[in-house]
């Protein structure tokens, strides 16, 4: 695992770096667990752009990931560690004892030939999936369910891990990578260990072309547009918008709350996440 820097043969090469992918064991995915994914260009079924600056990019094949980890009592062997173009962490192919194959998010430190399990009575070692009630406090986990049986929703990004802080009755308190502390039902499952590929955050894109390969089109500032295209556009000379930063439809971009007040999981938050700019908690 590491970052590779090339000789500066051009301006793009000088400022870019790539992951060396030393952990990967194969370059061909399992065909039975792949399906085609159609691109939308950021548009909905009416053809209206709902997500700006999307389009183009290299073609991707989607790998079907097992986020639920419900095959209890059946041991599995790690067959491969693979690259997945749809996420920033690696994935692992499991061969179960009954002959079934499944992809999971690869934990950091997993290797080909390792044996992993899921269920209440398995050992809390890297790669095993268990209910939170069966995992000792202080252990790092990822791929955490918010509702039992729904599949992992939290802590799935490269290099991330949550920590089990305490247990009280039917609730388990976890500390998320953002610093948020929240309660989750003890029946919800999580996978022991940290998500693989922690060096993802150290890769430098280096040039615009690499973002185009990822399907990201140029991001244009609102104040650089005409008044007909954006509320912050226009003006004589280099104007600074003349109002608070907002989207093309006038929705405020900074300082506003984006989480729905009707979200029932808000009640389970004990401590809000840390504000990275100010180093303080957001209340």
Per-domain boundaries in the chain: 3-200
pLDDT tens profile 20-58:
999 999 999 999 999 999 999 999 999 999 999 999 999
In which band, very low, low, confident or very high, does the pLDDT at 279 lie, cut at 50, 70 and 90? low
Percent of the chain with pLDDT over 70: 96
Residue-level pLDDT at 167: 95
Residue-level pLDDT at 283: 45
Task: Tell me the β-bridge partners of 184.
Answer: 172
Instruction: Name the CATH superfamily, with its identifier, for domain 3-200.
Output: Nucleic acid-binding proteins (2.40.50.140)
pLDDT at 243 over 80: yes
Rounded distance between C-alpha atoms, residue 84 and residue 140, angstroms:
23
Residue-level pLDDT at 85: 96
Q: What is the mean pLDDT of residues 245-264?
A: 85
Rounded distance between C-alpha atoms, residue 224 and residue 234, angstroms:
7
In which band, very low, low, confident or very high, does the pLDDT at 177 lie, cut at 50, 70 and 90? very high
Rounded distance between C-alpha atoms, residue 144 and residue 124, angstroms:
15
Beta strands per DSSP E along 132-211: 140-142, 144-145, 152-154, 162-168, 171-175, 181-185, 189-192
pLDDT tens profile 198-219:
999 999 999 999 999 999 999 9
Mean model confidence pLDDT for the chain: 93
Query: pTM for this structure?
Result: 0.90
In which band, very low, low, confident or very high, does the pLDDT at 263 lie, cut at 50, 70 and 90? confident
- Are the C-beta atoms of residues 197 and 19 closer than 8 Å to each other? yes
Residue-level pLDDT at 173: 97
pLDDT at 2 over 90: no
Percent of the chain with pLDDT over 90: 87
């Amino acid at each position: 695992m590491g970052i590779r820097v090339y000789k500066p043969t051009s301006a793009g090469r000088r400022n870019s770096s790539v992951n060396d992918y030393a952990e990967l064991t194969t370059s061909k995915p399992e065909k039975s667990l792949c399906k085609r994914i159609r691109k939308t260009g950021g548009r909905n079924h009416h053809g209206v752009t709902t997500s700006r600056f999307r389009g183009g990019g290299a073609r991707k094949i989607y790998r079907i990931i097992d986020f639920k980890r419900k095959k209890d009592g059946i041991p599995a062997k790690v067959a491969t560690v693979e690259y997945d173009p749809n996420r920033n962490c690696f994935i692992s192919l499991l061969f179960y004892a009954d002959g079934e194959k499944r992809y999971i998010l690869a934990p950091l430190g997993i290797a080909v030939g390792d044996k992993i399990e899921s269920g209440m009575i398995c050992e809390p070692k890297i790669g095993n999936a268990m209910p939170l009630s069966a995992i000792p406090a202080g252990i790092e986990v990822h791929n955490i369910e918010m509702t039992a049986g729904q599949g992992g929703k939290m802590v799935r990004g490269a290099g991330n891990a949550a920590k089990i802080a305490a247990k009280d009755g039917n609730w388990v308190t976890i500390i998320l990578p953002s610093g948020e502390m929240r309660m989750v039902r003890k029946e919800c499952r999580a996978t022991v260990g940290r998500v693989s590929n922690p060096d993802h955050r150290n890769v430098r894109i280096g040039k615009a072309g690499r973002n185009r390969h990822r399907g990201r089109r140029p991001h244009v500032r609102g104040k650089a547009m005409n008044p007909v295209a954006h509320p912050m556009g226009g003006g004589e000379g280099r104007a600074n918008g003349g109002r608070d930063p907002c989207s093309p439809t006038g929705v405020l971009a900074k300082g506003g709350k984006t989480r729905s007040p009707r979200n029932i999981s808000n009640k389970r938050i004990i401590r809000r996440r840390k504000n990275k700019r100010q180093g303080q908690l957001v209340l």
